[in-house]
Amino acid sequence: VQLQASGGGLVQTGGSLRLSCTASGRIDGSYMGWFRQAPGKEREFVAAISWGATPYYAGSVKDRFFISRVYAKNAVDLQMNSLKPEDTAVYYCATSPRFTTTLNEYHYWGQGTLVTVSS
pLDDT tens digit sequence for 1-48: 999 999 999 999 999 999 999 999 888 889 999 999 999 999 999 999
Give the C-alpha separation, 32 to 100, whole Å: 10
Name residues whose C-beta falls within 8 Å of residue 40's C-beta, 6 or more positions apart in sequence. none
CB-based contact 1:93 (threshold 8 Å): no
pLDDT in tens, 38-96: 999 999 999 999 999 999 999 999 999 999 999 999 999 999 999 999 999 999 999 99
113-118/9-12 β-pairing: parallel
If 0-12 CB within 10 Å is exposed, 13-18 middle and 19+ buried, where does residue 25 land? exposed
